[in-house]
Structure 1
Amino acid sequence: MQFLSRANAKVARAASLKNRWEGPVDGPALHKKKKIVFIAADLGDAGVSSVFNGVREASTAAGWEVLPINCRGRCNQGASIISQALDMKADGIILAGVDVTSQSKGMAAAVKAKIPVVGWHASVKSGPTDGLFTNVATNPKEVGQLAALYTVVDSNNKAGIVVFTDSSNPFLLAKSTAIVETIRQCEGCKLLSLEDVPLAESHIKMKGVVESLVKRFGAKWTHVIGVNDFYFDLLEVPTTASLIASNKLVAVAAGDGSPTAYKRIRANSLQTATVPEPLSMHAWQIVDELNRAFSNAEHSNYVSALHLVTAQNIAYDGGQKNMFEPANDFRTHYQKFWSK
């Protein structure tokens, strides 16, 4: 009962309106005409592409040129991708969804060249780490814990849970580790399986994985938690959906709040909740952090609060646009001190 009480309290707090600005209120004026290279783990990922578009939006007034390098899930293979960005004469570099520890040589070259690198989900840690000026991200352990707690509350402590993760990405692995740890604190819940399905290969592997899960667990499988909404896109593919039709699964995602996730939650179709990223707000923060680096100022030290989207609050904080965009007027707050 104590565990459920704490779970309910955390879920309620996360589901509350995010209409109060808690970010920076002062900083340097925005530098003009900078060349920024945006290194994307995969621009086919809804979260990464939204951040890219947000960076371009935030920097347009200052005349920044934002050039993408799309790794398509293969940033960790071959020559240093950061060195390629340096060859493009970048003034600043954004590492989006790429594990910074896999880019040690490139990071060393960037530091030597005095070119600032700002990460987005480039590490499990927020703030300066591994040569990054700063890393903009929510806390993956807290995201995973929140998704698991909501599942416990939603099932009234009686869930048979399968977790989908991608261990090739430290950020996603940190989420699933927290999910598993939290589920194990729920006496009435059963962790049936932890399935390691790399996102880059999930469209190929998902049908076979689901087929195996149904054979092994049958009706005992009632809930599924994914470290990314995309797993549930694949569960809706007709050939896969037919396998789980009799299970009537309840799905919860520990990120990132894709448009398809919002549509499922609104329609009460498979997915009941997601822990979304404030992608546009993160993009504006990334521009602000790069600008602070250009000005030899300190990073902002801002980490946005977690949010939980369910059918009860989906109409607020950007939900009408099928995205999490806090109603805290973040654009105005940044523009106020950028234009001083």
Structure 2
Amino acid sequence: MHQGIGWLIIGGGILLAGCTQQAQSANTTIDAPKVALVAPQKDTDFAAARQALTQFLTRQMVQPDGIYTNFLDSQSTGDTATGHEYLSESTGLWLQHLVLTKQSAAFKTFYQRSKTTLWQGQQFTYRYDPARNYRYPVNAGVDDLRIVNAVGRITRQTKQSAWQHTYTKLARTVLANTVPQGRVVDYVDAQTHERAQQTTLCYVDLATLQPLLPTRQYAQALALVQTGRLTGHLPLYATRYDFQKHAYTGTDSINIVESLLTAVHLAEVEKVPAATVNWVKDQVQNDTLYNRWGADGTPQTTDRSAAGYALAAQLGLFTGDRALAKLALQRALAFQITAAGAPLTGALGDLPSQQVYSFDNLTTLVTLDMYLNGES
């Protein structure tokens, strides 16, 4: 299902960096992540859509210390966050929005408040229930790295020594906790200190990791992702790598959002294959970017999402394909509710059921910011 992992696995185990390669000294600062250059584009329709989306989010979803997972306040104690719980995922995306729109004062306030709510000493809880004042004990590696990335960007943008200190301390803490020996783990339990023995490939945020890891460990992280590319009719990526089984898993049913995020992370460091981009472009043009696919290239569902199309647009932006970026954003905004005077006006979701999820909305917002404001 995937290419051979070659030099990455030797004698049945992951090759780790040698003792001569040490992480940065505790007395030195850490470079902020490099940002792929994206030229800003003028588009009055996208600008109006972003304004409506931002107004909805700030009125209905964004709180002083977090963001509601769903517009509806449904209560759940299950494995999936719902209702007015907060996710560290949403916090990181909102921080990215604030950086891209150069709202440094708002960034500082929201970061400080949300860190007080979500921080567990060495990691951010992936999920917080404000009704019970309960932090779930585990984090999500990709979310912690996204927040590190946002703090690194505000450091680069403001050039303030206070932010440099904050970024260096946060990055070093998250790296030690969630990226042991250069391997991003899915989660760490803050109570038991148990670490996952697997890496979901879309958790490997390469642009964020590049300035944090020794060269050899970064190369291994990159190879781990690249080697997870499926062969055959679906040029996307396996779901995860199991370090105990030394194998890629989750290849029978591919979640398009996860696989697209993996592709975006590769595109940010100029390593995404043309075949992957071309396949995504075909699906965007045909409006068939379905949410789940078999490894044989057959869709397993016919539903699509705003977030899927927004990530396809990011892929276009990072590879310089403006046509892909524009069309994919148009597809994403087809989910926007335009009914005047409704509480959900501007949201991306379903008006009859009032199901509006933060991930769809925030991912699309960040993509609009990238398209309209650019990155440099």
The structure with the greater share of residues assigned to strand is 1
